[in-house]
Amino acid sequence: MRIVMFFSRKVRKGISSINPTMSYVFYVPMWLKTLGLFLLFSPTLSAQISLPASLDTTSRKFTLSLLSSHDIQTSSINNTFSSKLIKGGLINDDLIQSNFDKHKTINHLGREFTNNLAVTIQNPFKKIEKLNSLDLLFEAGYSSIVSGVYSKDLFGLVFKGNQNYIGDTADFSGTNFQYIDFQNIGIGFSHKKTKSSFSINYVNVQNYLLSDFSVATVFFAEDSSQIDLDLNGDLNSTYSQKFNKGSGVSLNFKANIEVPWKDDSKAFFQFQVQNFGFAKVENILRYRIDTTISYSGFNVDNLINLNTNYLENNLWQDTLNIKQDTISSWIMLPAMIQFGKVLNANSTYKLQSFFGIKMYPSLKYTPKIYAGIDYLISKNFHAGLSTSYGGFGNFRVGIYVNYASKKINFGIGTEDLYGLISKKGFGQAVNIRLNYAF
């Protein structure tokens, strides 16, 4: 049947080997190739875990904290499929069908990739009475966030062809993809006693893409003589090679709340907001489509077998009634909100619990609920287990180990143990944290 020319030559060759009888080809413009390949199937590398935050209220002259995390999660595409799609290999009918069967009507995928540096300098404001309780905070970071929602029919149409939709309608309405790369650098304050903090950051937007289709259906007649398209949506994407495609401001806020706990001990709950802000992005290439078109007879062949001249001169845009322009726009950054119980670094208990909820209100992200147990193995070593549900996928089990001395705190772990060791998992996650203080 029909293959969507959605990928690079290497990937197309792999897909073609699935069913050599496929004869017709849909050629898709570069922006849609990028959307499909980069967002729909981001490379399955390693990713972020929610290593539980550990709060140390000890007074320090200097603190340096590094956090590197990478989390890829899907609700319906396993690691075997995505690995072969990206790295090469035979994607046979059985693999396609098994992944297709795992799809629900609506499916999620996403990636969180962050690197953050924070430096705290103790009390440089000794001579200013109103600021005497504050430490100086410097922050810098890089974030790459991908969020996607798509239908089972979209996956089926791309990888199974339209044979299952003859005499029927493929519906991928509600398809939404968001992607943004940005850097931040800022300055703020940290409260000496509670370690609560606030900072304001300059933000550089490096890449940005937003695609949203409220209506997207394709009907295939039983005798393949007619195709009906009903499309309503848009795609906005930066396209220049410039490093700076937009600038903005963001706020980071963290409040640590001490509460009484068991046996006259104390516990800490933390509320934090990261990257709350806005940026103005310049030179956004915008495609807008709102059309209902019926193709029949000779026009079907034209749609399927678009020639090179037709593509290079963008005549396909006129055929599909796609409007193109260049705009500048204010966008909301993907703010992260998290609230929960954190570990008490000064506790002498062998076992501590942590739990909470994490959200990205501006993304297609299901609020993630998590909980776990931390065990103090020896004076300097502790380890733990975590469970979570939500985010861009489903249920996960994680594990981590941590070394903590007077000056050094180093931790490494995964939020998705099954995905890390099995190709049948639905993503991977790794987090590395290093704190140095004196």
Q: 132-169: per-residue pLDDT in tens? A: 889 999 999 999 999 999 999 999 988 888 878 888 89
d(C-alpha 264, C-alpha 258), whole Å: 13
**Whole-number pLDDT of residue 128:** 76
Tokens of 46: 């390693």
Backbone angles phi, psi at 59, to 5 degrees: -70, 130
Question: What is the full DSSP assignment across 243-261?
Answer: S-SEEEEEEEEEEEEEEE-
Percent share of the chain, pLDDT over 70: 82
For residue 26, pLDDT beyond 50: no
d(C-alpha 169, C-alpha 96), whole Å: 20
- Give the pLDDT mean for 65-81: 92
Top pLDDT among 178 and 29 is at: 178
Note whether 136 and 109 are within 8 A (CB).
no
**Whole-number pLDDT of residue 114:** 92
Q: What confidence tens digit (pLDDT) does each residue in 278-319 have? A: 999 999 999 998 888 776 654 555 555 555 554 455 555 666
Tokens of 52: 């539980």
**Tokens 């996607």 belong to which residue?**
148
d(C-alpha 358, C-alpha 349), whole Å: 26
- Among left, alpha and beta (phi > 0; psi -120 to 50; other), residue 174 is left
Strands (E), 297-345: 322-332, 336-344
SS3 for 335-369 is: CEEEEEEEEECCCCCCEEEEEEEEECCCCCCEEEE
Q: Give the CA radius of gyration of the chain.
A: 25
pTM, two decimal places? 0.81
d(C-alpha 157, C-alpha 152), whole Å: 9
For residue 25, pLDDT beyond 50: no
Triad 67, 68, 70: Cα angle to 5°:
140
Per-residue pLDDT band at 20 (split at 50, 70, 90): very low
> Which amino acid does the sequence have at 349?
Y
Q: What confidence tens digit (pLDDT) does each residue in 254-267 have? A: 999 999 887 777 89
Backbone angles phi, psi at 416, to 5 degrees: -130, 80
**Whole-number pLDDT of residue 281:** 96
For residue 32, pLDDT beyond 60: no
Q: What confidence tens digit (pLDDT) does each residue in 229-238 have? A: 898 999 999 9
**Whole-number pLDDT of residue 279:** 97
d(C-alpha 51, C-alpha 36), whole Å: 31
Query: How long, in residues, is the chain?
Result: 438
For residue 211, pLDDT beyond 60: yes
**Whole-number pLDDT of residue 14:** 42
Q: What confidence tens digit (pLDDT) does each residue in 90-118 have? A: 888 899 999 999 999 999 999 999 999 99
**Whole-number pLDDT of residue 28:** 39
**Whole-number pLDDT of residue 315:** 56
Tokens of 225: 């003589």
Other C-beta atoms closer than 10 Å to the C-beta of 35 total 21
d(C-alpha 17, C-alpha 344), whole Å: 55
Backbone angles phi, psi at 193, to 5 degrees: -90, -50
d(C-alpha 6, C-alpha 86), whole Å: 12
- Give the pLDDT mean for 176-201: 95
Mean of per-residue pLDDT scores for the chain:
83
**Whole-number pLDDT of residue 21:** 40
Top pLDDT among 130 and 209 is at: 209
Tokens of 220: 């295939």
SS3 77: coil
For residue 225, pLDDT beyond 80: no
- Give the pLDDT mean for 42-71: 71
Backbone angles phi, psi at 317, to 5 degrees: -65, -40
For residue 329, pLDDT beyond 80: yes
d(C-alpha 358, C-alpha 365), whole Å: 10
**Run of H or E residues at 435:** strand 427-437
**Whole-number pLDDT of residue 38:** 39
For residue 3, pLDDT beyond 60: no
Closest CA to 105 of 56, 151, 137, 167: 151
